[in-house]
């Protein structure tokens, strides 16, 4: 919704987008988050996504779409030997 409203430019969210996220999350979860809380969580998600993406493409590992996790098949347990 925020992208459709033009609240993301050059890969960065505008302040109004962060404020909308804060208001929505606080209302839905009865929290008292700030814009900095939301920004920090987004940075953490981006880091985790990059790490998981890198792991997914290592030899012997596969992504289980149903379970949403990286798995090692029985014939590839050697990946743990490194």
Tens-digit pLDDT profile for the chain (82 aa)? 888 888 888 888 999 999 999 999 999 999 999 999 999 999 999 999 999 888 888 777 888 899 988 888 777 777 677 5
Which residues are registered as beta bridge partners of 8?
A: 13
Question: What pLDDT does 46 receive?
Answer: 95
The strand pairing partners of 61, in sequence order, are: 72
Q: Give CA angle at 80 (77, 82), nearest 5°.
A: 130
CB 34 within 8 A of CB 22: yes
Using a cut of 0.85, tell me whether the model's pTM lies above it.
no
The strand ranges marked E within the chain are 8-9, 12-13, 61-64, 69-72
pLDDT at 29: 98
Q: Which domain holds residue 30?
A: 2-79
Model pLDDT, residue 74: 73
The confidence score (pLDDT) of residue 82 equals 59
As for how many domains the chain has, the answer is: 1
Short-list 60, 54, 62, CA closest to 78: 60
């Amino acid at each position: 919704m925020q992208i459709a409203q033009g609240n993301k430019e050059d890969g960065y969210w505008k302040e109004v987008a962060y404020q909308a996220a804060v208001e929505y999350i606080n209302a839905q979860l009865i929290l008292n988050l700030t814009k900095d809380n939301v920004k920090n969580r987004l940075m953490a998600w981006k880091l985790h996504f990059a790490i998981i993406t890198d792991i997914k493409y290592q030899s012997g590992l596969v992504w289980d779409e149903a379970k949403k996790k990286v798995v090692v098949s029985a014939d590839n347990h050697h990946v743990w030997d490194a």
